[in-house]
Homo-oligomer: A and B are copies of this chain.
Amino acid sequence: MVPVSALSAPAPSSIAPAAQGKRVFNYSAGPGQMPEEVLRQIQEDVWNCRNSGVGILEHSHRAPVFDRILAEAVQDCRDVGNIPSNYHVLFMTGGSTGQNFMVPMNLLPSNRTGSADYYNTGYWANQSIEHARPFGTIHECASSKGDNYAYIPRPEQVRHSNAPAYVHYTSNNTIFGTQFHTIPTPPNGVPLVCDMCSDIFSRPFDVTRFGLIYASAQKNLGPAGVTLVIVRDDLVQKGNRDIPLMLQYRTFATGESRPNTPPVFCIYAMGLMFKWIKKMGGTAYFERFNAEKTRIVYDVLDRSSFYKPHARADSRSFMNITFRCPTPQLDDLFATEASRQGLDCLKGHRAAGGIRASFYNAMPKAGAETLAQFMKEFERTKG
C-alpha cells in the first residue's frame, strides 16, 4: 500500500498522531479525493471556526462568521472563473440531477410549447435529456450514442433545431471518459447551458460564452451536498414565475443563496477549494497539471496491446480515463488487486464496465505514477 500522506506535503504538526492514519489513492469518479491541506483545515474548523468558539457545522447561516465565509466563497469563485458581475454565483442543493429539471422548468415556456437542443454524449447527458422531456420538445442536436459514447461530435455533425430556447451539453463524460476540448457554438443569441459537474475549474474557460453553468461539488469542488450555479442575470430575470418559489433561480439570486438554511458546511468547504485552486495557480495551473498526470496513464495505454482504451484519442478526458482489460474477469481482478495495494475505486461504472481512473484537480501526480506502475506490472504478469 502506498499511503498518500507519505508522498505529499507533511501534515501540519497541529494534528494529532491518531488522526494521521494511512490514506490510499482514491480514483473514484465522485465523490472523489480532496487536497489533504483542505482536510486539515476542515478538521480544525469543525471544532472552532475562525476563532469564533463555534465549529463550522454549528454556525448559523445568518451570523457574521458565515456572512464572511459566503461572501469570500462568491468572490473566490469569481476570481477562479473570471466571472463578470452580470453573472450570479449561486449555491444550491439537489445536485446536477436537480438542475436537469430546474433548467427546463425555468427556461422553457410553462405551457410546454418550447424546445431545447441537447448534445447526447454520455450517460449523464442522456439523463439530462430524459429529465427535460416533460417540459417541452427536446431535440438531440448531436449524439455519439451509436458508438457507445466513445467520442465528442465534431461541429459539422451538429444539427440545431429551429429557435431552441437554449443549447445544453455536458462538458466531460465521466463514465465514458470523453471531454469537450472546445466550447460548442450555439445558434446566434441562443444561450448555452453546460453541465460542468465533472471538469469545472480543471482548466480555463470563457464564462461569457455561457448562459448558465451548473456543477455539483463532489468532483473538483469538495464534498457532495452543494451545487454551484453560475447564471447570467437576464436568464434569471426571464425565468418562469409560475413554478414553486424554491425552484426559481431568482429566489436564490435575491436571497444570496440562502432563502432558507443553506448547506453551510458544504458551501464553506467549496470556498476552501476555491482558495486552494487560487493558491496552486488557478485553472491555468490545473490545465497543465491534469494533462501531465493523465498523459502518464494514457502513455501506458498507447504502448499496450493488453489494455483497450474506450475513448477515441481526440476526445479523451483529462479527468476520467476509461479502458478495459482483455476480459471482464481480468477487469475485476485488476480492480481487486489494485485495491489491495491502496489504489481504490478503479472499477468502471455499471453502464460502461471496464476500468475507470479519475484524475480531478486534487489527485497528486504520484497517483498517476503509481497507477501506471501498477498497470505495467499487471500486464506483465497477466498479459
Contact = CB atoms under 8 A, between A and B. Distances in A.
Interface of A: 1, 3, 13-24, 26, 28-34, 39, 42-44, 46-48, 51-55, 57-61, 63, 93-98, 100-101, 105, 131, 134, 216, 218, 222-226, 242, 244-247, 259-266, 269, 342, 344-345
Nearest to A59: B31
Q: Within the oligomer, what is the number of copies of this chain?
A: 2
A interface: dominant SS: loop
Contacts of A24: 52-54
A200 to B, nearest CB: 15
A366 to B, nearest CB: 15
A319 to B, nearest CB: 15
B54 A26 contact: yes
Contacts of A225: 93, 225-226, 263-266
5 contacts: A21-B53, A39-B57, A53-B342, A225-B263, A225-B265
Contact of A21 (B51, B245, B269): B51
Contact of A261 (B63, B224, B242, B261): B224
Chain B CB within 10 Å, residue with most, of A52, A225, A260, A344 = A225
Contacts of A22: 48, 53
A52 B96 CA distance: 27
